[in-house]
Amino acid sequence: MVLNDSRARFLRREDSGKYAEALPDVSDGADREDGGSADRAQRRSKFLHAVIATLDEACDRNEYDRLIAVGPERMLSAFRKAASDKVRVRLWREAAADVKHLSDSELEKRLAPHFR
């Protein structure tokens, strides 16, 4: 999972090492106009709950065994706090990095060391 302030991408690593979409993306659905810090905090909380709900449903369908979470440290921290037990036990690795602007091939290179 690649996570930033407004979008979560769910990818799976194929045997070839390439990444493919595993689940539909989740976004906060907001435009980039900020309505103040209270609105941002509320949007972030709602967004993280949607991410966790998506992962919980995938757990219930046995769609993944291990999860790597990649994103800025502040989002990873918020994700860990919001995660359900069934997501937490599958959280295999974390990588604190701002990767929202990376292409899939750049992301593959960036994440390769985590699979060694």
Q: For the chain, what is the mean pLDDT?
A: 86
Structure pTM?
Answer: 0.83
Q: Look-up: residue for tokens 């907001």?
A: 30
CATH number of the CATH domain containing 40: 3.30.420.60
pLDDT digit string, tens, across residues 60-101: 999 999 999 999 999 999 999 999 999 999 999 998 888 878
Q: Whole domain around residue 101: which residue ranges? A: 2-115
Q: How many domains does the chain have?
A: 1
Share of the chain above pLDDT 90, in %: 48
